[in-house]
A and B are shown apart, each in its own frame.
Chain A
Amino acid sequence: MQTKKRKKTGWSILLGVLLFFLTFLFLMPIIWVIGSSFKSTGELFSWPPSLFGKSPSWNNYIKALEEGDFTGYFLNTVFVSIVATILTVIVNVMSGYAFAKYRFKGQTVLFGIVLATLMVPLEVIMIPIFKVIVATNLYNSLWGLIIPAVASPTAVFLVKQYYAGIPDAYMEAARIDGASETNIFLKIMLPLAKPIISVLCIFSFMWRWNDYLWPKLVINSKTKYTMQLALANFSGEYSVDWNSLLAMSVISMIPVIIVFVSLQKYIIGGMTAGGVKG
Chain B
Amino acid sequence: MKNFEQKIFPYLLLLPTIAIFGVFLFFPALNGLWISFTKWDGINPQEFVGLKNYIKLAGDKDFLTSFFSTMFYTCLSVPAIFISALMLALILTRRIKGSNFFRAVFYWPTMISSIIVGLTWRFLLGEDFGVINYLLTVMGNSPVKWLTNPKAAMAVVIFVTAWSMAGYYMVMFIAGIKAISETYYEAADIDGAGFWQQFRYITLPLLKPTSLLVLVLSTVTVIKAYPLIYALTQGGPAGTTKFMVQMIQETGFEKNQMGYACAMTTVLFIILAVLTFVQFRLNRGGEQDAN
Given A95-B16, A114-B17, A260-B108, answer yes or no on A124-B174 (Cβ-Cβ < 8 Å): no
Are B175 and A275 within 8 A (Cβ)? yes
Could you say which residues of chain B place their CB within 8 Å of the CB of A276?
Answer: 178
B118 neighbours in A (Cβ, 8 Å): 235
Chain B residues positioned under 8 Å from A90 (CB to CB): 16
* A51 closest partner in B (C-beta): B131
Main secondary structure of the interface of B (DSSP, over half): helix
Bits for B1-33, please: 1 = Cβ < 8 Å to A, else 0. 000011101110110111011011111110110
Interface membership of B206, Cβ < 8 A: no
Stretch of B56-64, B71-79, B146-154, B267-275 at the chain-chain interface: B267-275
Q: How far is the CA of A148 from the CA of B26 in the complex (A)?
A: 12
- The complex places the Cα of A104 from the Cα of B6 at a distance, in Å, of 9
**A139 CB, nearest partner CB in chain B, Å:** 12
Closest residue on chain A to residue B259 by CB atoms: A127
CB–CB B178/A91 < 8 A: no
**Please, which residues of chain A bring their CB within 8 A of the CB of B10?**
98, 102, 104, 107
Count of B interface residues, CB-CB < 8 Å: 87
Q: Which of A94-139 contact B (CB under 8 A)?
A: 94-95, 97-99, 102, 104, 107, 110, 113-115, 117-121, 123-132, 136
On whether A121 and B272 interact (CB within 8 A), knowing A44-B129, A98-B14, A212-B227, the answer reads yes
B258 within 8 A of A: yes
* Interface 1/0 per residue, B30-46 and A, CB below 8 Å: 01100100000010000
A201 within 8 A of B: no
Answer whether residue A232 sits at the interface, using C-beta atoms and an 8 A cutoff: yes
A interface footprint on B239-278 (CB within 8 Å = 1, 0 otherwise) = 0000001001100110000100110010011001100110
Q: Are A253 and B112 in contact (CB under 8 A)?
A: yes
Q: How far is the CA of A68 from the CA of B66 in the complex (A)?
A: 36
Contacts known (A209-B113, A268-B103); A274 close to B94, Cβ less than 8 A: no
> Chain A contacts of B24 at CB under 8 A?
129, 132, 147-149
Are A119 and B272 interface neighbours, CB within 8 A?
A: yes
User: How far, in angstroms, from A122 to B241 measured CA to CA in the complex?
Assistant: 21
Can you report 13 A-B residue pairs in the complex whose CB atoms are below 8 A from each other? A23-B105, A26-B109, A26-B163, A33-B123, A99-B14, A119-B269, A125-B25, A126-B249, A126-B265, A151-B21, A211-B113, A228-B116, A231-B231
A residues sitting closer than 8 Å to B (CB atoms) are 15, 18-19, 22-23, 25-27, 29-30, 32-33, 36, 44-49, 90-92, 94-95, 97-99, 102, 104, 107, 110, 113-115, 117-121, 123-132, 136, 147-151, 156, 180-182, 185, 206, 209-213, 216, 228, 231-232, 235-236, 242, 245-246, 249, 252-253, 256, 259-260, 264, 267-268, 271-272, 274-277
